């Protein structure tokens, strides 16, 4: 594994996620967020918790890039998109759908969050796939016996 490329891929994807997050939350989902405001934290509380969220998000991008590197098959962006969609489905199955189940969010917002999770994960996978390159002295995988 190429640790420098993993770190670069993680940071680039994290930075892109910041811009996407602003666009999605402040513009694309603004009406749905307002309509579901009773189920959400007040903006001041979100702002207060933002540094924790952003820090944990960066750690998650490092984990995402490391997992990609462990399964790297040489596919670049296309492999990254496939990987991202797979991760997006996992995120929806283990998290996003349960936010809708547990909190009084309307169905439109729930579906929008689920679709957004998969689309964003595909974008981040593509970025990681584009940035990550294995070390030049790669050890070939051994076939299972």
Q: What is the pLDDT of residues 49-61, one digit of tens each?
A: 999 999 999 999 9
> Which is nearest to 5 in space by CA: 55, 58, 69?
69
Q: Taking the model in full, what pTM does it have?
A: 0.87
Measure CA 137 to chain center.
29
pLDDT for residue 137: 52
Alpha helices (H) along 71-136: 76-91, 97-102, 107-131
Q: Compute the distance between CA of residue 102 and CA of residue 98 in angstroms, rounded to an integer.
A: 6
Q: What is the pLDDT of residues 82-135, one digit of tens each?
A: 999 999 999 999 999 999 999 999 999 999 999 999 999 999 999 999 999 776
């Amino acid at each position: 594994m190429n640790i420098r490329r993993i770190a670069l891929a993680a940071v680039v994807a994290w930075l892109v996620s910041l811009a996407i997050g602003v666009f999605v939350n402040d513009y694309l989902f603004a009406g749905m967020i307002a309509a579901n405001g009773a189920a959400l934290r007040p903006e001041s509380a979100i702002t207060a918790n933002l540094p924790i969220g952003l820090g944990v998000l960066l750690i998650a991008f490092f984990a995402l890039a490391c997992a990609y590197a462990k399964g790297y098959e040489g596919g670049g962006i296309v492999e990254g998109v496939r990987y991202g969609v797979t991760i997006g489905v996992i995120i929806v199955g283990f998290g996003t759908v349960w936010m809708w189940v547990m909190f009084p969010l309307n169905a439109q917002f729930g579906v929008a969050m689920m679709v957004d999770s998969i689309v964003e994960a595909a974008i981040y996978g593509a970025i990681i796939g584009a940035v990550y390159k294995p070390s030049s002295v790669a050890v070939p995988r051994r076939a299972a016996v």
